[in-house]
Structure 1
Amino acid sequence: MFKNIYFTKAELSCRCCGELHFSDDTLRRLIRARVRFNKPMVITSGYRCRDHCASIGSTMTHTTGQAVDVSVSGGRAYELLGIAIEEGFTGIGIKQHGSHKGRFLHLDDLERTGPTIWSY
């Protein structure tokens, strides 16, 4: 795993089993985004094992080690969204409704035929 000072192993590891299989390239991209954002980025979900994804009814995007969910809302979400796109994240999921505590951006850099964005 690539060394970093911004994100802990606990943030990037699977919540159910503690496994950590995270892409160095994705982590470097995430760190560049964090430096540019110049504010804390709380990762609410990093790597997820297949069992964890199945238990929460999630797609397998996080099993690649190339995806994170970042707790962020309002103007900060707008700012981070622009930075994430500029840094090469090609999958952007947006949940910006409900309580501010539950709002987030999903960021991934999976290979696709083109960038994509969706809402939750």
Structure 2
Amino acid sequence: MKKIILLCIILVSCTAFKRVTYVPTSYDYQDEVKCLAQNIYFEARDQTTKGQIAVALVTINRVESRRFPNSICKVIHQARRYSNGKIKKHKCQFSWYCDGLSDTPRDRIAWKVSKTIARAMLRKSGVHIKHFG
């Protein structure tokens, strides 16, 4: 019986609503949109809109966590570095940032979609999401 009650509590808590509260300040808004759009583009341009939004939410949730830097760009650019400051290949929070490939978007349509999603996710009103644990 205890296992059933515990399972019910876990299931209810896993579907609780959460409000994303991160809103960049005006002076860094464009930089934060660009960084978030790059992350969406390089991590999920071949995914559905839901997948792209999920990448944005992971990024924003990290910004809101005390365990990560307090800006989108800093979260995305977080990487292990050599003593000379150079980034260690494949030692980043997001793989595209330190894979050694160009970070210039080539697919104009996917880039436009990524920017649109990034702007929508960073609106001042915040975003209601269904949080699945």
TM-score by length of 1: 0.30
Greater share of residues in strand: 1
- For the pair shown, the structure with the greater C-alpha radius of gyration is 2
Query: Does 1 or 2 have the higher relative contact order (CA < 8 Å, sep 6+)?
Result: 2
TM-score by length of 2: 0.28
Greater share of residues in helix: 2
